[in-house]
Amino acid sequence: MTELLDDRPTLTTPSPLDDARGQLADAIAVLELGQGMFDLLAAPRRELTVSIPLRRDDGTVEILTGHRVQHNYSRGPAKGGLRYSPHVDLNEVRALAMWMTWKCALLDVPYGGAKGGIAIDPRLYSQAELERVTRRYTSEIMPLIGPSHDIPAPDIGTDEQTMAWMMDTYSVNTGHTVLGVVTGKPISLGGSHGRASATSRGVVHVALQALDYLKIRREGASAAVQGFGKVGRGATRFLWEAGLRIEAVGDQYGAIRADNGIDVAALEAHVDATGTVVGFAGADPIDAAHLLELDVDLLVPAAIEGVLHAGNAAQVRARLIVEGANGPTTTEADGILNARGVTVVPDILANAGGVIVSYFEWVQANQAYWWTEDQVEARLSERMIGAWQHVVNHATARGLTLRAAATSLAVQRVAEAHRQRGLYP
């Protein structure tokens, strides 16, 4: 399961949904699309909130709450992860679904955006209890999902086993095996080679391009990574293999630092044995919040949204931020970082590797023909580097930040799909 690291700002900070709508408003202004298009794209197309009764292993019954939001599906079926976290609420899911729409459009993947979540801390439940939760949630949202309707995938707190349970529940209820209903499945159940590491690899493809863009030599460049789950762990390893010096790593339990660089292979062995980066003999402990303020070339926030905010953005000393998480930088922090000359590669570009290979998995499942890992990786690299160059060219031509450039390109594609389809009476 992915870590549930929480370094969220105070309640006075705007919510992820405020940030998502603010980014949309900025894009609408750049594109001169008007209030009507903003209203159309700001509102989710469908939302479903369900109660999930769970019989615990001790026989007691608990009621959980789950959500599924389909923000937009003008360009294709809805697509988005399923998150298990105690912080899940409907507005968070709405924001994540909107960002997913822009991510798919920016990478020219024929999907719209969706997201799901259950307010649960998976660390406090047994595997059998999580299976019961997943199967009940799947049965409750079945009217919305399907390989041509809405395709869930793993996110924080969920993994390929969660997707296997969802696929099986959906298949049993439809009377036949439907491999394309979810992505991020085990290889043995129609998953794609390269899917587990796709988001991490995509982050690193873009990070290396951004280092080149800023004329920072890759070999020996310093990096700090917040989060050591399914995105942060892979990103740390791939950056290390590319020759960067990993100075700091954090997870939900704490953070560590080594000025001369961390041996990532040794750190992975430590985490496999203990479940945390804390206590690793090859580094010193540091305050988790301080990790975000280290003097490094590259910072990769790869945990949750909102960790870079008005309260700490002025202390960030990294030259380059590549967003491995969804929405880790608030609108206020964006403004502060931009004014200080810090380059921020936005989430809808940086962490899009997962949805690209999810799309590849969906295509393979629909064709019943599977690609090799080398084929998947080559196509992922081509998509990520091509999207990076497209965003950089647009930002340069229009005098925009990378986030404004990426969001306006994505919104333009979705708005054009709306115009071409028209409004149903």
What phi and psi values does residue 55 have, to the nearest 5 degrees?
-90, 115
The DSSP annotation for 372-425 comes to -HHHHHHHHHHHHHHHHHHHHHHHHHHT--HHHHHHHHHHHHHHHHHHHH----
Strand 245-251 to 222-226 pairing: parallel
Catalytic residue set:
115
Whether the CB-CB separation of 192 and 121 falls below 8 Å is answered with no
Residue type, 51: S
Pairwise CA distance, residues 108 & 351, whole Å: 14
Whether the CB-CB separation of 335 and 35 falls below 8 Å is answered with no
* DSSP structure class, residue 14: P
Pairwise CA distance, residues 99 & 17, whole Å: 10
* DSSP structure class, residue 140: H
Burial of 46 (0-12, 13-18, 19+ CB in 10 A): middle
Strands (E), 123-166: 150-154
User: Count of alpha carbons within 13 Å of 73, Cβ hemisphere only?
Assistant: 18
**Cβ-based neighbour number of residue 48 at 10 Å:** 15
